[in-house]
Amino acid sequence: MSNRILSINPGSTSTKIGVFEDGVELFSANVPHDADALAGFPTISDQLPYRKQTILRALSDAGIALSSIDAFVGRGGGLLPVEGGVYTINDTLLDHAVRGANGVQHPAQLGPQLAHGFAREFGRPCFVVNPPDTDELALRARITGVRGIYRTVHLHALNLKETAIRHSAALGKRYEDCNYVVCHIGGGISISAHEKGRMIDGNDIVGGEGPMAPTRCGALPAAGLMDYCRQHDLKTARALCTRTGGFISHLGTADAKAVFERAEAGDAYARVVWDAMCYQIVKYIGAMAAALMGKVDGILLGGGMVHNQALVRTVEEGCGWIAPVTAYPGEFELEAMAAGACRVLTGQERVKEYTGQPVWTPGGWECQA
């Protein structure tokens, strides 16, 4: 029996949708939204009716009836930290998505809301798969040098895990039996250590960790950041983590292709910034390999910047001695959501229940002197 899945991935100015049947793409579209219309809504969740109508119009134009869909999957924004997996959209998950329980207002919050609305109308199941707040850090990776400050993780979990799952299948192995360093290299850069199916470490891409990226500052010297904060307000400093750092801060653009072309054309500053980013990617891959105690079956590269062959060669030269480097340019987010739902529907994976409790909170051990 075939399974037809609709994947819904809301972004800042558009919503990506895809219809898949047993893993085969039947239709996909990047449904645009009018920027002025979106700006008129007080909150992200207030955009729901508008986005729903644009999605319905795109599906209708493609001749796809929602009644033909067996399950709906939405990008899981707004949730508290959870372990990886496929979660049914229950009342608690829906409530957290609506209000953004994690404190981050992001269009991905609309994913569960849209999926749940369609599913309720047609009596179908609905899920989220490896949401953005997937957190499987080992305890030793959480501790910092300041008591009361702990590391959390925000990564491109959906694409990272799907890349690892696909690579394992290509090798004839199970993701749960392999160790990888997996990277997503795009507007943000995630570098993560996967040990037997769990992301035991990785950089916080919204908290100022890891390599610099087109719009993100990456890790900074603490003393230098404190000096910066003396000269700028906190809002300006925080924006460096997600919107105004990296290429934006140095070169005034987030266009990685343009930065690379400037570097190739002889722009000395663009060259040093590009090379610094590549150096930092290599360095953090090495750190994640060390987190796996050197037992690495492969280094996997995904994301839009992996289309750049010079970047891939730099990683191969810097890290190929650790493990084979394999490039998967682009992203598999729509496919990953559909694949997760399909695994649940076919009994290959057990669906999880979202409880609303963070996967980790400081325990009694921290109170012991």
Q: Could you read off the pLDDT of 30-47 as tens digits, one per residue?
A: 999 988 999 899 999 999
Distances from the Cα of 284 to the Cα of 45, 53, 204, 306, 319, angstroms: 36, 43, 12, 16, 10
Domains of the chain by range and CATH?
4-135+334-353 (3.30.420.40), 157-330 (3.30.420.40)
- Strands across the sheet containing 86-88: 24-32, 14-21, 4-10, 71-74, 126-129, 86-88, 352-353
**pTM of full prediction above 0.85:** yes
What is the pLDDT, as a whole number, of residue 368? 45
CA distance 190 to 211: 8
Mean pLDDT of the chain: 95
Pure H helices in the chain: 35-39, 48-61, 91-99, 110-122, 157-170, 222-231, 234-239, 247-251, 256-264, 268-291, 309-319, 333-345
* 218-276 pLDDT tens trace: 999 999 999 999 999 999 999 999 899 999 999 999 999 999 999 999 999 999 999 99
Sign of CA dihedral 72, 24, 301, 323: positive
Distance spanning both ends of the chain, measured CA to CA: 59
